[in-house]
A and B are shown apart, each in its own frame.
Chain A
Amino acid sequence: MMLEVQDLKKYFPVRGGVMMRVIGHVKAVDGVSISIEKGEVFGLVGESGSGKTTLGRTVLKLTEPTGGRIIFDGRDITDLSGKELIPLRREMQIVFQDPYKALHPRKRVKDIIGEPLIIHEGASDTEVRRRVAEMLKLVGLNVEHMDRYPHEFSGGQRQRIVIARALILRPKFMVLDEPTSALDVSVQAKILNLLSDLKEQFDLTFLLISHNLAVVQHMSNRIGVMYLGKLMEAAPSQELFENPLHPYTKALISAIPIPDPKLAKKKRKMTLRGEIPSPLHPPSGCRFHTRCPFAKEICEREEPPLREVEPGHWVACHFWDELREVGVLNA
Chain B
Amino acid sequence: MNIGEKIKGLVDYFRSEDFKITLILVKKSPLTVLGLALTIFLVLVAIFAPLIAPYDPIKQDLKNRLQPPSWEHPFGTDQLGRDIFSRVVWGSRISLFIALIVVAISFTVGTTIGIISGYFGGKVDEVLMRITDMFMAFPRLVLALAVAAALGPGLFNTMLAIAFVSWVYYARLARASTLQIREEVYIEAARAIGASDKRILFLHVLPMVIAPVVVQATLDMGGTILTAAGLGFLGLGVQPPTPEWGVMVSEGRRFITEQWWVSTFPGFAILLATLGFNLLGDGINDILNVRARR
Q: Which residues of B are found within 8 Å of A101, using beta-carbon distances? A: 184-186
A103 within 8 A of B: yes
Q: Which residue of A lies closest to B205 (CB)?
A: A104
A331 within 8 A of B: no
Q: Which residues of B are found within 8 Å of A116, using beta-carbon distances? A: 193-194
Is B192's CB under 8 angstroms from A86's CB?
no
Residues 140-198 (chain B) with a chain A CB within 8 angstroms:
184-186, 188-196
Q: Which residue of A lies closest to B207 (CB)?
A: A106
Is A165's CB under 8 angstroms from B188's CB?
no
Q: Which residues of A are found within 8 Å of B186, using beta-carbon distances? A: 101-105
What CA separation (Å) do A96 and B189 show in the bound complex? Answer: 8
Q: Which residues of B are found within 8 Å of A98, using beta-carbon distances? A: 185
> Contacting A104 at CB < 8 Å: which of B191, B196, B204?
B204
B271 within 8 A of A: no
Q: Which residues of A are found within 8 Å of B80, using beta-carbon distances? A: none
Is B194's CB under 8 angstroms from A165's CB?
no
What CA separation (Å) do A93 and B194 show in the bound complex? Answer: 10
What CA separation (Å) do A88 and B196 show in the bound complex? Answer: 13
Contact string against B for A residues 74-117, beta-carbon threshold 8 Å, 1 for contact and 0 otherwise = 00000000010111111001101010011111110000000110
What CA separation (Å) do A211 and B207 show in the bound complex? Answer: 35
Q: By CB atoms of chain A within 10 A, which of B1, B193, B204, B208 has the most?
A: B193
What CA separation (Å) do A116 and B193 show in the bound complex? Answer: 6
Q: Which residues of A are found within 8 Å of B1, using beta-carbon distances? A: 125
B291 within 8 A of A: no
**Interface residue total, chain A, C-beta cutoff 8 A:** 30
B20 within 8 A of A: no
Is A119's CB under 8 angstroms from B193's CB?
yes
What CA separation (Å) do A105 and B186 show in the bound complex? Answer: 9
CB distance from A38 to the nearest CB of B (A): 21
Q: Which residues of A are found within 8 Å of B207, using beta-carbon distances? A: 104, 106-107
B199 within 8 A of A: yes
CB distance from A181 to the nearest CB of B (A): 14
What CA separation (Å) do A175 and B166 show in the bound complex? Answer: 46
Is B192's CB under 8 angstroms from A89's CB?
yes
What CA separation (Å) do A89 and B193 show in the bound complex? Answer: 6
Q: Which residue of B lies closest to A116 (CB)?
A: B193
Is A62's CB under 8 angstroms from B185's CB?
no
Residues 1-34 (chain B) with a chain A CB within 8 angstroms:
1
A120 within 8 A of B: yes
> Contacting A102 at CB < 8 Å: which of B185, B195, B199?
B185
Q: Which residues of A are found within 8 Å of B192, using beta-carbon distances? A: 60, 62, 89, 93-94, 166
Q: Which residues of A are found within 8 Å of B193, using beta-carbon distances? A: 89, 93, 115-116, 119, 165-166, 169
Is A165's CB under 8 angstroms from B199's CB?
no
What CA separation (Å) do A27 and B185 show in the bound complex? Answer: 22
CB distance from A144 to the nearest CB of B (A): 15
Is A115's CB under 8 angstroms from B195's CB?
yes
Q: Which residues of B are found within 8 Å of A57, using beta-carbon distances? A: 188
Is B195's CB under 8 angstroms from A119's CB?
yes
Is A106's CB under 8 angstroms from B208's CB?
yes
CB distance from A93 to the nearest CB of B (A): 7
Q: Which residues of B are found within 8 Å of A60, using beta-carbon distances? A: 192
13 contacts between A and B (CB under 8 A): A93-B193, A101-B184, A102-B186, A104-B186, A104-B189, A104-B207, A106-B207, A107-B207, A115-B190, A115-B195, A116-B193, A119-B194, A119-B195
Interface residues, chain A, with chain B CB atoms under 8 Å away: 57, 60, 62, 83, 85-90, 93-94, 96, 98, 101-107, 115-116, 119-120, 125, 162, 165-166, 169
> 8 extra interchain contacts, Cβ-Cβ under 8 A, other than A88-B194, A104-B190, A104-B208?
A94-B189, A96-B189, A98-B185, A101-B185, A104-B189, A106-B207, A115-B195, A116-B193
4 shortest interchain CB distances as A-B pairs = A89-B194, A101-B185, A116-B193, A86-B194
